Amino acid sequence: MSAAAQRPPFWRDVRVLGWVFQLAVFAVVVAIIGVLVNNVRVNSANQGIPTGFSFLDQPSSFEIPGNDFRQTQPVREAIVEGVLNTLRVVIAGLILATLLGVTLGVGRLSGNFLIRTITRVYVETIRNIPLLGLLIFFYIGLVLTAFPRVEDSWVVSNVLVANVRGVTIPWITGSTIAFLIVLAVAVGLAWAVNRWRLQVNERTGEPARGGTWAIPVFVLVGFWGAFFVGTGITTPELDGRSLDGGMTMQPEYFALLLALVIYTASHIAEIVRGAIQAVPKGQVEAASALALSNWHRLRHIVLPQALRIAVPPIGNQYLNLMKNSSLGFVISYFEVTKTVQTTVGNRSPAVPAFLLLIGIYLVMSLIISAGVNVVNRRLQVVER
């Protein structure tokens, strides 16, 4: 019998049926999307609403508080401003939430009973309440209700001034970009020095002491570089009713940042605790048997393995924090959701505007996922 004769008729051939099935599903999905698009077109035409993205060039006709954005600027620039506001709260939030979360996670495993209990109460409480409630509590309950007038500001010497206009902290003056470049150079040099010490250690067996070498390098390069590019420090100075210097965070920004950090940190803490506990006990015991010091045991045995477990879920928390920044909408912080919603209120067509919004969030999600994936790949065990 020839091979062709052995094949079943096409209506019973699994491969053919598979493709028919896929095409059918695809056709159904396309049909649903087609119906939706057609509905949008018909309904928009009935109400005389355009469906394209030409609204981006129209004047926005609203102002963004805490910003010199003018009503005559186009919607496009308003949305860019919204994205920047989102990034401002997300980047600060990521850094602070990671610091607080890791501290709390390590605290939950502390040998000190009080630290252990307090961090546990914090985590079990904050994780189980809705973020929106926390945000409203901080914004309406704390910032709007409890913060004092300017002349009665809460002052912590020259470090922190809080009043109804916002929270002021010391900040750098001069070009931010120049400062960031200096910072990057300092970090890069410190990293290179650390690497060189590790190589020396491998070649000669001499102790690496990476920190002892790298931290002074970082401090020296950082300070001299900052001095060289003209970076200064401005601190808040309160004099009666006038407040000079420092950087003032708007009340909305402050409340949103606080809520996001406190909420996300409780989730990160649980991840960190789980990751440290997931490192097999034998590893720690083996390290002790090799007479590694507490610090070396943590630095070279426990943390690298815990980090490998913790990075993917922490990446998820970063994504959540980014998406949760959209809650700024509720307290009228002009991040991108609030901005888009306002333009829709000002007669931008709703469907394209919201599709654009979803697209913006997708792009930001992809960027964060890509970053987390890069870190994750570097940490993975190289398997044979």
Q: Which residues bind another protein (CB under 8 A)?
A: 18, 21-23, 25-26, 29, 36, 39-40, 43-44, 111-115, 118, 124-125, 127-134, 136-137, 140-141, 145-146, 319, 323-327, 329-330, 337, 341, 344, 350-351, 354, 357-358, 361-362, 365-366
Which pairing describes strands 237-239 and 242-244: parallel, antiparallel, or unpaired?
antiparallel
The smaller minimum CB distance to another protein, of residues 247 and 319, is found at: 319
| Burial of 213: CB neighbours in 10 Å, binned 0-12, 13-18, 19+ | middle
Mind giving me the DSSP string for 45-110?
A: HHHT---SSGGGGSB-----TTS---TTSBHHHHHHHHHHHHHHHHHHHHHHHHHHHHHHHHHTT-
Q: How far is the CB of 252 from another protein (least distance, A)?
A: 14
3 state DSSP class of 367 = helix
CA angle 369, 98, 266 (to 5 degrees): 105
Which pair of tokens denotes residue 36?
A: 């939706």
The smaller minimum CB distance to another protein, of residues 18 and 230, is found at: 18
Rounded Cα–Cα distance for residues 340 and 79 (Å): 7
Query: Which residue in this structure is represented by tokens 């919004």?
Result: 357
Side-chain-facing half-sphere of 43: CA atoms under 13 Å: 9
The smaller minimum CB distance to another protein, of residues 136 and 160, is found at: 136
CB-based contact 74:57 (threshold 8 Å): yes
The smaller minimum CB distance to another protein, of residues 156 and 192, is found at: 156
Q: How far is the CB of 136 from another protein (least distance, A)?
A: 6
Q: Which of 144, 140, 172, 166 is nearest to 154 (CA)?
A: 166
3 state DSSP class of 190 = helix
Which pair of tokens denotes residue 53?
A: 């993205």
Which pair of tokens denotes residue 314?
A: 């922490």
Q: How far is the CB of 61 from another protein (least distance, A)?
A: 18
The smaller minimum CB distance to another protein, of residues 152 and 244, is found at: 152
The smaller minimum CB distance to another protein, of residues 136 and 379, is found at: 136
Side-chain-facing half-sphere of 329: CA atoms under 13 Å: 15
The smaller minimum CB distance to another protein, of residues 127 and 195, is found at: 127
Rounded Cα–Cα distance for residues 253 and 177 (Å): 22
The smaller minimum CB distance to another protein, of residues 72 and 145, is found at: 145
Q: How far is the CB of 290 from another protein (least distance, A)?
A: 24
Q: How far is the CB of 342 from another protein (least distance, A)?
A: 11
Q: How far is the CB of 204 from another protein (least distance, A)?
A: 35
Q: How far is the CB of 146 from another protein (least distance, A)?
A: 8
Which pair of tokens denotes residue 309?
A: 């477990």
Q: How far is the CB of 361 from another protein (least distance, A)?
A: 5
Q: How far is the CB of 259 from another protein (least distance, A)?
A: 12
The smaller minimum CB distance to another protein, of residues 40 and 375, is found at: 40
